[in-house]
Structure 1
Amino acid sequence: MTPVPDRLSRMVRQVQAQARVPAVSAALHRADRPLWTCTVGETGNDTALGPETAFRIGSVTKTFTAVLTLQCRDDGLLDLDDPLGRHLDLPAHGELTVRRLLSHTAGLQREPHGDVWDTLRAPDADELVAELARAERVLPPGRRYHYSNLGMALLGRLVGQLRGGTWAEVLAERVLDPLGLTATTVTPGPRAATGFLVDAYSDEAHPEPPTDFGAVGPAAQLWSTATDLARWAAFLADPAALDPAGAVLAPATLDEMRWPATVTDETLWSVGFGLGLILVPQGDRVMHVGHDGAMPGFLAAAYGRRGGDGTAGAMGAALLGSSGTAAEVFDLPHRLLAAAAEHDPADITPWRPGPPAPEGVRGLLGRWWGEGFEYVFSWHEGALRARGAGDPPGKPPAVFAPLPDRPDVFRTVAGREVGELLRLTRDERGRVVRMHWATYRFTRAQETFDRYDFRTGG
């Protein structure tokens, strides 16, 4: 059997050769194994290609800006449903909300006013605002997904305004330094690869001109290494593993960012978009979360893996390439993650007996019926849980937490009916005889809504 590192390296080498990418750098991060890296090709300049080589990461930058925006929300500096004009003095589009801009559902045009990709000159901070009135709202807010670099640029300006610094300063202080992403920078540095356009009909690779995205930097400015980006992707998927104190962002906030706000195609629901994050379902309740990026001469992709058998904690992959047209770069992180989970699955943690369920909970464990369906209530890992009797094994259970000020009342904190109450009713001897979950009646025997009991016939 081919060792897993060799299998992954072969996948990278195959993409580099077949897609004709001058330089490729890949990395796989997981909590239970050493960091895996692979580089193939040449930088196109007088520096050697290695894991420390920096590449332009394009729109993967947006994930950093999105995290900064949610930090502001968590710190009480804004609400996601605030209009931009509540915090920024703008000549137009101030009514668009933070949430809409994060999910690309604001309807704002894709780029700032002018032919940015012809001139390769992005506006500075003052020009971005001054020209905003000339930018169109091409769709009504909330109508559908429409990708906008301009929208993310405005969020970067918002973050800087609220924090009292530039976007780059805030990013370094509040994300890059705490997570140890020392190779992620706004400028290329001395060990950067050269970006190329590879001719479609020959082997010529022509270098692309360097670009500075100015005030649109929060959408696409950053440079990074595959090792830094694999770590970042792992954070997006499993923040508690890399930031246990929640210094950068609380795990619950990342949960919120990963919840799908829209789909990118109305007829093919294969890709979703959360709050600044691309969501790519993999089947069998596995989700890859991250972003792709493209800038002249460079393509990038970084995704973390959540769910499924074999998935390790803090599992993230990144692929960086120095070609602007090798679309195979976008798919390879997904394949690397899947191959690692299949051929080198996470170790299985042995089950060990635990303490008994609390006295007040023991009587409600077992099978109950609600809305004509059977459910199983159980106590595992210190919490009350419920599953439909016919649920597939991989479907997460509902999880309940007791309300300290209301005896026999629980709050659903995960899974089905999250947020809703579970209320217990006891008889004169203290036995739980019925429950109400999200106001629906649950009984030990199957009953109609008018309480006909099929067990007793009445």
Structure 2
Amino acid sequence: MTSPHEALLLSTERALLHRVAVAQSEGRAPSLVGAVVRDGRMVWSGARSGTDEDVPGADTQYRIGSLTKTFTAALVMRLRDEGLLDLSDPLGKHLPGTGAGEVTIAQLLSHTAGLAAESPAPWWERTPGSVRPGLADVLGDQPQLHPAGRRHHYSNTGYALLGSLIEAVRGRPWEDVLRSDILEPLGMRRTSCHPQASHASGWAVHPWADAVMHEPAVDLGLMAPAGQLWSTAADLSRFAAFLAEGDERVLGVDSLREMRTASAPSEPGDWDSTYGLGLQIVRRNGRTLIGHTGSLPGFVACLWVDVEEGVAAVVLANATSGPLPAVVAADLVHIVVDAEPRFPEPWRPMPDVDQDLLELTGTWYWGTSAFGLKLVTARGLELYPLSGHGRGSRFQARPGGAWSGLDGYFAGETLRAVHSPEGRLIHLDLGSFVFTREPYDPAGEVPGGVDERGWRTLPL
């Protein structure tokens, strides 16, 4: 049997390279690089080039634009995990004098603070950061366009504020904190704020002719946390593995799960796309992908991760427009998952069985709706509707003999097993809902009581 950790099949590799070749040709990109990650490591990369420059590879630097935001968000989450701030804190608690001090850190991370999308003119992506020496120059006279918390409005200026927040709390420049807290622990030695050889040049391609024009690559100053970084397909593959699996040296899996959870409403008419905390969440080809897109003059980029399948893809190109990296990266994931489905983990018996927990398993009824409750690893429980319709959740044990909901309708809610004074299991209490062994079991202390006449037929 083929191991899921082995190299991709030659037929899969050819399909991936074909997709990259089509994207470079039809998108008229001077060059385009793609890479695929499976089960935590890069298993394929390929590139196409139409210029006289060296054909790029997985270690060639490209500018990644707004993919930088995910790095900035991870730094903020580290500060939260270290107890230096809370996501519900107003910005002004840690960074006073911005004129946007009432918005919360969580709102900035999720683009729901209502701030303007861009800084005042001139166009910040094509002008040096020295044009905007202070946060007042970044935000302008009217930083807030919408009520905070009411809608998703993508804001580059919001991430400039988050970068300044990191500097204020850490007492060091954003770039230095990024290097020490993320890049070095993850071994991302080819990711930097300024280009390092070898790197691709940024080009604009004429919309009506096969002609190109060089694009400037400027230092964005205070806007850097929104889009400054240069990286490679190999380095971003390491970052993709981190986003899927976590790394305790940077962020644990619980914090990454929080980042991957939708916290912003979808834009009207776009129900396949939402935003977490520094991560885009999209539905493509029937799969949920998390990651981020990016663009700056001369470059486009995308990183998508299918956490469930353990597959990620990176696409980088050096053209201002033309290639669609978000589509291509999703297609690369799709090719691998369809051609080489992930092997499930072998079933194994539990190392030990808690008889008290085993007593909880089986069929339970909420009113007349039947649910199954099964025991999973690490003293966890899973509740699911037996009819296929209804509210299910997974639960994790917590001190005191109760469980907390992890997802679905009952996320954060408390599940308790209720026993009689003699120790007999009577019913389950889930956020005040009573689950009994039989529909409306009189012994289950059902609120409102149970008709003493029991079940009858109509007419009465």
Which range moved further: 117-126 or 26-35? Answer: 117-126
Residue 328 of structure 1, aligned match among 324, 329, 341: 324
Query: What's 1:174 paired with?
Result: 181
Query: What's 2:274 paired with?
Result: 272
Query: What's 2:4 paired with?
Result: none
* AA matched with 2:192: T
Q: Please state whether the residue corresponding to 1:150 is helix, strand or coil.
A: helix
Asked whether 1:436 is paired with 2:429, we answer yes
Residue pair 1:23, 1:321 contacting (<8 A) in 2 also: yes
When residues 424 and 114 of structure 1 are mapped into structure 2, their CA distance, relative to the original with a 3 A threshold, is same
Number of aligned residues = 442
Residue pair 1:234, 1:305 contacting (<8 A) in 2 also: no
Residue 12 of structure 2, aligned match among 1, 4, 24: 4
Asked whether 1:256 is paired with 2:258, we answer yes
When residues 401 and 118 of structure 1 are mapped into structure 2, their CA distance, relative to the original with a 3 A threshold, is closer
Cα deviation, residue 159, structure 1? 0.4
Query: What's 1:421 paired with?
Result: 414
In 2, the alpha carbon distance for the partners of 1:156 and 1:257 equals 17
In 2, the alpha carbon distance for the partners of 1:199 and 1:106 equals 36
Cα deviation, residue 222, structure 1? 0.4
Query: What's 1:457 paired with?
Result: 455
Query: What's 2:28 paired with?
Result: 20
In 2, the alpha carbon distance for the partners of 1:402 and 1:208 equals 55
1:43-442 pair list within 5 angstroms? 45=53, 47-117=54-124, 120-123=127-130, 126-129=133-136, 132-239=139-246, 243=247, 246-282=248-284, 286-307=287-308, 311-312=309-310, 315-355=311-351, 357-383=353-379, 384-391=381-388, 397-403=393-399, 406-407=400-401, 409-427=402-420, 430-442=423-435
When residues 396 and 198 of structure 1 are mapped into structure 2, their CA distance, relative to the original with a 3 A threshold, is farther
Cα deviation, residue 414, structure 1? 4.9
Cα deviation, residue 256, structure 1? 1.1
When residues 363 and 330 of structure 1 are mapped into structure 2, their CA distance, relative to the original with a 3 A threshold, is closer
* AA matched with 2:88: D
In 2, the alpha carbon distance for the partners of 1:297 and 1:238 equals 32
* AA matched with 1:253: S
When residues 123 and 148 of structure 1 are mapped into structure 2, their CA distance, relative to the original with a 3 A threshold, is farther
Q: Please state whether the residue corresponding to 1:77 is helix, strand or coil.
A: coil
Instruction: Return the TM-score normalized by structure 1.
Output: 0.89
When residues 173 and 455 of structure 1 are mapped into structure 2, their CA distance, relative to the original with a 3 A threshold, is farther
Cα deviation, residue 3, structure 1? 1.2
The two structures, once aligned, show a CA RMSD in angstroms of: 2.6
In 2, the alpha carbon distance for the partners of 1:27 and 1:119 equals 28
In 2, the alpha carbon distance for the partners of 1:454 and 1:236 equals 56
In 1, the alpha carbon distance for the partners of 2:259 and 2:299 equals 26
In 2, the alpha carbon distance for the partners of 1:35 and 1:445 equals 52
In 2, the alpha carbon distance for the partners of 1:226 and 1:371 equals 54
Cα deviation, residue 171, structure 1? 0.2
In 2, the alpha carbon distance for the partners of 1:426 and 1:118 equals 64
Listed as ranges, the gaps of 5+ residues in structure 1 are none
When residues 22 and 449 of structure 1 are mapped into structure 2, their CA distance, relative to the original with a 3 A threshold, is same
Residue pair 1:32, 1:346 contacting (<8 A) in 2 also: no
Q: Please state whether the residue corresponding to 2:76 is helix, strand or coil.
A: helix
Cα deviation, residue 174, structure 1? 0.3
* AA matched with 2:295: A
Q: Please state whether the residue corresponding to 1:249 is helix, strand or coil.
A: coil
* AA matched with 1:457: W
In 1, the alpha carbon distance for the partners of 2:414 and 2:92 equals 37
Cα deviation, residue 264, structure 1? 4.1
In 2, the alpha carbon distance for the partners of 1:130 and 1:196 equals 28
Cα deviation, residue 114, structure 1? 2.4
Which range moved further: 325-334 or 118-127? Answer: 118-127
Q: Deviations over 1:418-458 (max 9, x none)?
A: 32222223346533122211111111111286444799638
In 2, the alpha carbon distance for the partners of 1:415 and 1:29 equals 29
Residue pair 2:290, 2:306 contacting (<8 A) in 1 also: yes
Q: Please state whether the residue corresponding to 1:262 is helix, strand or coil.
A: coil
In 1, the alpha carbon distance for the partners of 2:217 and 2:137 equals 25
Q: Deviations over 1:243-296 (max 9, x none)?
A: 2xx110121111111111113412321110111111002475x42111111111
Fraction of identical pairs, as percent: 33
Instruction: Return the TM-score normalized by structure 2.
Output: 0.89
When residues 13 and 392 of structure 1 are mapped into structure 2, their CA distance, relative to the original with a 3 A threshold, is farther
Residue pair 1:445, 1:455 contacting (<8 A) in 2 also: no
Q: Please state whether the residue corresponding to 1:179 is helix, strand or coil.
A: coil
Residue pair 2:23, 2:323 contacting (<8 A) in 1 also: no
